[in-house]
Amino acid sequence: MPVKKAQKSSKLSVAQYPITKKLKQPKFFIPLIIIVLVVLVFLLKGLFVVALVNGQPITRLTLIRELEKQGGKQTLASLVNQALILQEAKKKSVEVSQKEIDTQAKQIEESLKQQGQDLNTALTMQGLTRQDFLTQLKLRSLVEKLLADKIKVTDKEVAEYIEKNQETLPENLKEDEIKKGVGEQLKQQKLASSSQEWLANLTKNAKINYFVNY
């Protein structure tokens, strides 16, 4: 009986051998590997190589290093400020709704249209995406809410400004429109000066560890 079982096992091994051998032959896998590599190179080339100059590659790492030299310090400072603003807003439970951001974006877009300009074109010229624009609106709105007490504009301040700048004010606007425009202008001036001082204090009191120097 053991001999018969051994013969039966031997016959099965012989029958399976050609299939096993066929599967192990590299020629069946090489074309597939080449196709996969070609597809990966085509899809991912922008991740590693940004350009070819007469066959010589310019790597993405080289591009990033050059960009960091040109604007790394300013960009890093901007990111630090953004983090500080978001952290302070969270700490003070200050929020800006998506509806508020969309309303502001629409107002700016309509204002640009009245001046014969297009928002998307303006953003492209500044190297910004629409998402960058919306993020800036959110940050500005958060700062306005956080500094609400410091950027209030009184009727007296508006009246004094109008009295001193009569010659520069538009003549085709109604009095209420002029007051509204002047009030917004004074508010933005206060926001600019107050926010710089406020951010400077936040930065001074924050624990920031820098791991790169520009």
What pLDDT digit, counting tens, does each position of 34-70 carry? 666 555 555 556 668 888 898 888 888 898 899 888 9
pTM of the model: 0.70
71-87: b (≥16 Cβ within 10 Å) or e: ebeeeeeeebbeebbee
Answer whether residue 211 is part of any domain. Answer: no
Number of domains in the chain: 2
Q: What residues contact residue 186 under an 8 Å CB cut-off, 6+ apart? A: 153, 157, 158, 161
In a domain, residue 178? The reply is no
Mean pLDDT along residues 2-25: 47
Q: What is the dihedral of CA 65, 69, 75, 76, to 10 degrees?
A: 80
Q: Percent of the chain having pLDDT more than 90?
A: 50
Tell me how far apart the alpha carbons of residues 75 and 54 are, in angstroms, rounded to a whole number.
32
Q: Is residue 7 part of a domain?
A: yes
| pLDDT greater at residue 203 or residue 25 | 203
Domain with 118 in it: 95-146
Asked if residue 119 belongs to a domain, the reply is yes
In a domain, 88, yes or no: no
Residue 110 lies in a domain: yes
What is the pLDDT, as a whole number, of residue 32? 64
Whole-number pLDDT of residue 131: 94
Check pLDDT > 60 for residue 15: no
Q: Looking at the domain assignment, is residue 203 inside a domain?
A: no
The answer as to whether 159 is a domain residue is no
Which of 127, 146, 165 is the last residue in one of the domains? 146
